[in-house]
Chain A
Amino acid sequence: MQGASWLIALIKEPQLAATVPKQDWVLIIRLLRKQQLLARYSHLFRQAAVFDALPAYARHHLQNAEILARKQCNQVAFEASELVTLLAPLKVTPLFLKGAAYSLALGASIGQGRTYSDIDILVPKEAITSVEQRLALHGYFGEPMTPYDQHYYRQWTHEIPPVRHHSRGTIIDIHHNLVPPVSGRAPDISHFLTHLVTTEQGYQVLTLPAMTLHSIIHLLFNEEFKNGFRDLTDLHLLFLQFKQPAQWDALFELATATGFCTELFLACRYCRSILATAFPDDFYQRLERQHGVTKNQAILDFAFKRVLAPRHPVTDNWQDKLADTLCWLRGHWLKMPVSILLWHLIVKSSRGAMVAVLGKSYFEPERR
């Protein structure tokens, strides 16, 4: 088995780790680090009680990542309570999304060992300016960015440019929707806001089905798949948390109401084919009936099975790269009307062309 196949096999059956040939761990650790999955796998190996049986080389790197992830988890709890306190006078309760929500709400399962670089929150659109101002008063400032990017964020996307705490370096992404309005696919956010729960510590997050749908949209209604496999494992672990038929119904109904049935179908399809995720028969059949296999399915399968695999440049072939390009095009196509897309691509590719001719570092000032 190659490194990438091991990653897939090990998330399905972590106890297989004890049978991995010692030499294979070098590539496995390298792929896991690239996908930011070291700490998650470490946790899975401990759950399956095989961690101690692993070679010292593997344990060493897994444990380093565990320690970093534990620190991040503590940090997130601290940052979240800061945010709640800061926004309380505005009568705004932040809704925590993605990585931070996994840590705060599902710390025992998907949150374990999940690492991320920023904290995502959602606040009402009309409160965005006051939230931004209040955070700035307390030391969270925007990073320098080109006027085009600044304009693009505010005009067309579902969030404002990220802000960063001046001393702790924490980055907060402030959203008012889950999908960029420019795509024409941004759902009426109130559909999601009927699926809220409060964690034991008092943090507001989405319910499991809504959180799962957001994770699906984030992965599949997108053009970049740098952490494609990591995100697919998020979904796999989220689906494992579904215990009642009502949760599957809620997921299906929310996807229908918000217009993301295609994404739900694709997510389930690839979780099933890549990670052998189990779905209730009636749920999956209903989804297939509703959505059905489209005539482009073969192309989609070709592309998604590659961008969602555990990838690394040392193992990539031309088909992988073609798949990246297809998904990049598809993502942009989905997200922007043609007129805006063209302008966006002209701006971005004129820069891209300069980079191609002059070199990436032409734009990067030399450090002195």
Chain B
Amino acid sequence: MPSHQSLLLPPFTFEVRTDIPLVVDNLKRLYGSRLVDMASYPDYFVSVQKAEGIRRFYRPQARFFADQQEPFQPLQQQQAYAMLEWGMNWCVATHEMQYVIIHAAVLAKDNKAILFPAPPGSGKSTLTTWLAFHGWRLLSDEMALIQPHSRTVIPFVRPICLKNNSITLAKQWFPDAIYSTVASDTHKGDVIHLSPPESSWQQNKEPAEIVGVVFPNYRSDTELDIYKLDKTQSFMQLAQNAFNYGVIGNDGFVTLCQLIDRVAGFEIFYNDLALVAEFLQQELIDAGR
């Protein structure tokens, strides 16, 4: 049964078509009331479809389309839901040029936000999950949308993407949270999506002010080591994690410079998440009081 619905994910709206039941089920489960019948002003028209021909039956595949464009190679059909999530990220990362977009998780307390820019494998999503279910507000797991020439970050609340070992950890910590089915054997390994707490969803239109930038590195043998970064180091790390920095040019450069000028930057190596949370609270959230 082909499904045709809309996702209200401020600041964007997606119209989603799919003929894959797995995708429909996961969408309903993870997005809840954000999945509506038909929204009036969709920004992007996305679809995940069963591949045609023999691939319908023999090792079935799924294909992602952003309207008429097909940016990715087909994937195994059991990975279709993850593919849709990545496809929606692709739409934003390649089209949205009016925010400075950093590949970073964003979490906030009292509307004071911390950016966690990091390449895959740094433990960012595990940290995000832990904080989001311990009283922090999730603004994004993947993309920080920063208003140019400001420290304001706009939420883009979406499910958190967990990989491999962190799936088991998250399920141990938060057995009652809402998880998608597992997409196994993807280019990132096994992948699951986790719906953030309802409170984060409900505040998905409330911007926050960035007070710190923390580059996380999970190290199994280190409780918590903290290094303060100088401005050059912070800037370079931010720029390396920026999606559209090269396209938007001067606005992006100035915004990142101003940000680094005004907020503290840290690199942390850790395996104790409670200690990390304590550090963030004291050093970045309480400090401004």
Binding site for B on A (CB under 8 A): 23, 26, 30, 33-34, 57, 60-61, 63-64, 67-68, 71, 74, 312-313, 355-362, 364-368
Chain B residues positioned under 8 Å from A30 (CB to CB):
45, 67
Identify which of B63, B67, B248 contacts A361 (C-beta below 8 A): B63
Residue of B nearest to A357 (CB): B53
The answer to whether A368 and B97 touch (CB under 8 A), given A57-B41, A61-B43, A360-B52, is: no
CB distance from A24 to the nearest CB of B (A): 11
The answer to whether A356 and B53 touch (CB under 8 A), given A34-B67, A64-B97, A313-B68, is: yes
CB of B42 closer than 8 Å to a CB of A:
yes
Contact A360 B53 (CB under 8 A): yes
Given the complex of chains A and B, what is the CA–CA distance between A71 and B248 in angstroms? 7
Contact B68 A366 (CB under 8 A): no
Query: Which of these binds chain A: B69-77, B154-162, B170-178?
Result: B69-77
Given the complex of chains A and B, what is the CA–CA distance between A360 and B43 in angstroms? 28
Chain B residues positioned under 8 Å from A34 (CB to CB):
67-68
Q: How many residues of B contact A (CB 8 A)?
A: 31
Contact B75 A367 (CB under 8 A): yes
Contact B98 A67 (CB under 8 A): yes
Given the complex of chains A and B, what is the CA–CA distance between A223 and B268 in angstroms? 58
CB distance from A45 to the nearest CB of B (A): 17
Contact B73 A365 (CB under 8 A): yes
CB of B28 closer than 8 Å to a CB of A:
no
CB of B56 closer than 8 Å to a CB of A:
yes
Identify which of B68, B186, B249 contacts A71 (C-beta below 8 A): B249
A contacts with B: majority SS: helix
Residue of B nearest to A34 (CB): B68
CB distance from B48 to the nearest CB of A (A): 13
Considering only residues 26-71 of chain B, those with a C-beta below 8 Å from chain A are 40-43, 45, 51-56, 61, 63, 67-68
Contact A359 B53 (CB under 8 A): yes
Given the complex of chains A and B, what is the CA–CA distance between A68 and B97 in angstroms? 8
Chain B residues positioned under 8 Å from A361 (CB to CB):
51, 53, 55, 61, 63, 73-74
CB distance from A47 to the nearest CB of B (A): 21
CB of B261 closer than 8 Å to a CB of A:
no
The answer to whether A23 and B40 touch (CB under 8 A), given A359-B55, A362-B55, A366-B61, is: yes
CB of B289 closer than 8 Å to a CB of A:
no
* Residue from A313, A358, A365 having most chain B Cβ neighbours under 10 A: A358
Given the complex of chains A and B, what is the CA–CA distance between A33 and B96 in angstroms? 13
CB of B225 closer than 8 Å to a CB of A:
no
Chain B residues positioned under 8 Å from A71 (CB to CB):
246-249
CB distance from A315 to the nearest CB of B (A): 12
The answer to whether A367 and B54 touch (CB under 8 A), given A63-B98, A64-B97, A67-B98, is: no
Residue of A nearest to B247 (CB): A71
Given the complex of chains A and B, what is the CA–CA distance between A34 and B75 in angstroms? 24
25 CB-based A-B contacts, threshold 8 Å: A26-B40, A57-B41, A60-B43, A60-B98, A61-B95, A63-B97, A64-B98, A68-B95, A312-B68, A313-B68, A355-B53, A358-B53, A358-B54, A359-B52, A359-B54, A359-B61, A360-B53, A361-B53, A361-B74, A362-B53, A362-B55, A366-B73, A366-B76, A367-B75, A368-B185
Contact A357 B54 (CB under 8 A): yes
Residue of A nearest to B94 (CB): A68
CB distance from B90 to the nearest CB of A (A): 13
Contact A26 B72 (CB under 8 A): no
Given the complex of chains A and B, what is the CA–CA distance between A200 and B153 in angstroms? 43
Chain A residues positioned under 8 Å from B72 (CB to CB):
367
Contact B74 A64 (CB under 8 A): no
Given the complex of chains A and B, what is the CA–CA distance between A356 and B54 in angstroms? 9
Identify which of A61, A64, A362 contacts B54 (C-beta below 8 A): A362
Residue of B nearest to A55 (CB): B41
CB distance from B184 to the nearest CB of A (A): 12
A-B CB proximity, top 7 nearest? A359-B53, A67-B97, A361-B74, A359-B55, A361-B51, A367-B73, A358-B54
CB distance from B34 to the nearest CB of A (A): 19
Given the complex of chains A and B, what is the CA–CA distance between A30 and B69 in angstroms? 12
Given the complex of chains A and B, what is the CA–CA distance between A356 and B52 in angstroms? 8
Chain B residues positioned under 8 Å from A359 (CB to CB):
51-56, 61
